[in-house]
């Protein structure tokens, strides 16, 4: 039975109307962008259901209705049925792998007559609910390896099913949950490891074919191995508090590498990578010795980090050159600046940059864009819709849209922090992480700063699945937040 004190307010009064206002503003600006991106010279009715701008009104209207229904449900529904919702979406994701409809090389769409749905968009909120349910359960400890692996497993499972649908971009979105894990107590070393792996890949692949100081040594591989040694020494300093040991590792690693490089440059040319691998192996042996001598297991974990780093880099290099499909390899090479390919893999990004650059400071005005109206930019009303904002609204409009997203994210962080229960806070930070990932990657790929992985810009990209998915994700959080002033008896 529910009872309210004098201070307690109804659900509608407890709603965060600022967030709802931002949501409606994004929907409005999103429709204007879809209208501009899909408009063709000579169209007389942009509201027709035969046009994308007309259909987007339908998706917006149904999204608002879905949001209202979510707000009317009891907030305990989402906690109670979190695992059931998650299981149902997993089953749907698994079934989608075997569906006969293939769209643009992907099997991620369910075709139901005239309606097409992408279950991966709805699995985000289901996964967020399941993870929040698990991590808020009694006795869960983010510092416990088994507990944390169970939470990670809930995230990885839908990722595997989505990859099975040949939709790698949507699967990568689930990596955003690791930002929430870090907020909830996941060791910072795990987040650092992920950042380090990214650095290894970018630096190693980008400069792999570049000779180091006119020697047979690869600059990329040399820098990666040196970074592994320096990062390991830094972890000894931070986690073991043994600065002398850390300085000793740095001195030997840098000194021997520099000496070998000088010999290779001025006396006899040879590849010094075997020497660096030898330094890394000696460092690992030293860490094992220190662990046995001091009985500090942290040294073993640092050694595991070093081994994993080297194994990751060489396996990533092998995957890129021998396992990935040619078009995937070309996309990565274009992103890293190894290939130009303006007519192939780099065409979308190049045309998008032209469209954004042509908008100038104030833009060309609504429906006056030339790059978008002449359809130079592929997927300009879905994945690349931000280029329409840049062309028609200019730098000021683009900055305004990004500022609106920033306000939304900061507001969601504020709401997450005021949650009285862990379930609401964990779900809230999952929502924040997903929105942050989508905005950062989508805008980044339009500007040529991140890989083109084909994910939508929240509330802007055309389509019902993404709009419904983001609406459900957001409004469940708003409904959970509305109970903060409620007491149940």
At residue 473, the pLDDT reads 96
Q: Average of pLDDT values for 69-78?
A: 91
At residue 4, the pLDDT reads 44
Residue 6 pLDDT > 50: no
At residue 345, the pLDDT reads 52
Q: Could you tell me the two tokens for 316?
A: 């990533």
| pLDDT tens per residue across span 262-276 | 999 999 999 999 999
At residue 258, the pLDDT reads 94
Percent of the chain with pLDDT over 90: 49
At residue 5, the pLDDT reads 42
Q: Torsion-angle region of residue 363: left (phi > 0), alpha (psi -120 to 50) or beta? A: left
Output 296 or 32, whichever has higher pLDDT: 32
Select from 409, 451, 402 the least CA-distant residue to 430: 409
Assign 44 a pLDDT band (cuts: 50, 70, 90).
Answer: low
Residue 2's DSSP bridge partners are: 488
Residue 335 pLDDT > 70: no
- CA distance to 27, 367, 409, 453, per residue, from 386 (Å): 14, 14, 18, 15
Select from 389, 227, 188, 189 the least CA-distant residue to 313: 227
At residue 7, the pLDDT reads 39
Assign 142 a pLDDT band (cuts: 50, 70, 90).
Answer: confident
Percent of the chain with pLDDT over 70: 90
Q: Average of pLDDT values for 205-225?
A: 90
Assign 325 a pLDDT band (cuts: 50, 70, 90).
Answer: low
At residue 350, the pLDDT reads 75
Average pLDDT for the chain? 86
At residue 43, the pLDDT reads 66
| pLDDT tens per residue across span 429-468 | 999 999 999 999 999 888 877 777 788 999 999 988 999 9
| pLDDT tens per residue across span 96-140 | 888 766 766 677 778 776 677 889 999 999 999 999 999 999 889
pTM value is 0.83
Assign 2 a pLDDT band (cuts: 50, 70, 90).
Answer: very low
Lowest-confidence region among 28-37, 74-83, 372-381, 454-463: 372-381
C-beta separation of 96 from 391 below 8 A: no
Rounded to an integer, what distance in angstroms lies between the CA atom of residue 40 and that of residue 52? 11
- The CA-based angle 137-142-147, given to 5 degrees, is 65
């Amino acid at each position: 039975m529910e009872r309210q004190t004098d201070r307690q307010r109804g659900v509608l009064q407890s709603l965060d109307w600022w967030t709802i206002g931002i949501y409606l503003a994004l929907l409005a600006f999103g429709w204007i962008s879809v209208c501009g991106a899909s408009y063709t010279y000579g169209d007389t009715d942009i509201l027709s259901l035969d046009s994308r701008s007309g259909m987007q009104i339908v998706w917006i209207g149904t999204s608002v209705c879905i949001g209202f229904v979510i707000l009317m449900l009891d907030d305990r529904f989402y906690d109670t049925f979190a695992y059931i919702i998650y299981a149902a979406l997993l089953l749907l994701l698994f079934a989608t792998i075997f569906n006969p409809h293939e769209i643009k090389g992907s099997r991620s769409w369910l075709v139901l007559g005239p309606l097409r749905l992408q279950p991966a968009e709805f699995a985000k909120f289901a996964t967020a609910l399941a993870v929040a349910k698990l991590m808020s359960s009694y006795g869960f400890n983010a510092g416990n390896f088994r507990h944390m692996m169970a939470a990670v497993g809930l995230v990885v499972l839908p990722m595997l099913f989505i990859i099975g649908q040949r939709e790698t971009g949507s699967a990568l979105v689930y990596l955003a949950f690791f930002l929430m894990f870090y907020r909830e107590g996941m060791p910072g070393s795990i987040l650092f490891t992920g950042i380090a792996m990214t650095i290894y890949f970018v630096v190693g692949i980008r400069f792999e074919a570049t000779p180091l100081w006119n020697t047979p040594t690869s600059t990329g591989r040399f820098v990666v191995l040196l970074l592994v040694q320096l990062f390991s020494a830094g972890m000894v300093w931070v986690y073991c508090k043994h600065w002398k040991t850390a300085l000793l590792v740095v001195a030997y690693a840098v000194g021997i590498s520099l000496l070998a490089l000088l010999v290779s440059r001025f006396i006899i040319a040879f590849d010094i990578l075997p020497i660096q691998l030898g330094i890394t192996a000696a460092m690992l042996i030293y860490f094992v010795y220190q662990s046995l001598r001091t009985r500090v297991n942290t040294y073993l974990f640092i050694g595991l980090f070093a081994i994993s780093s080297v194994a990751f880099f060489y396996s990533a290099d092998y995957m890129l050159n021998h396992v990935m499909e040619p078009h995937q390899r070309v996309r990565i090479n274009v992103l890293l600046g190894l290939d130009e390919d303006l007519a192939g893999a780099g065409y979308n990004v190049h045309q998008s940059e032209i469209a954004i650059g042509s908008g100038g400071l104030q833009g060309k005005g609504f429906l006056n864009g030339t790059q978008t109206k002449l359809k130079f930019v592929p997927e300009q009303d879905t994945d690349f819709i931000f280029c329409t904002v840049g062309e028609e609204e200019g730098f000021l409009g683009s900055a305004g849209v990004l500022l609106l997203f920033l306000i939304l994210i900061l507001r969601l962080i504020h709401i997450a922090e005021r949650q009285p229960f862990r379930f609401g806070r964990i779900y809230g930070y999952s929502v924040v992480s997903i929105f942050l990932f989508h905005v950062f990657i989508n805008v980044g790929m339009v500007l040529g700063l991140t890989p083109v992985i084909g994910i939508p810009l929240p509330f802007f990209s055309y389509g019902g699945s993404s709009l419904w998915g983001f609406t459900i994700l957001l409004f469940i959080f708003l409904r959970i937040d509305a109970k903060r002033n409620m007491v149940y008896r």
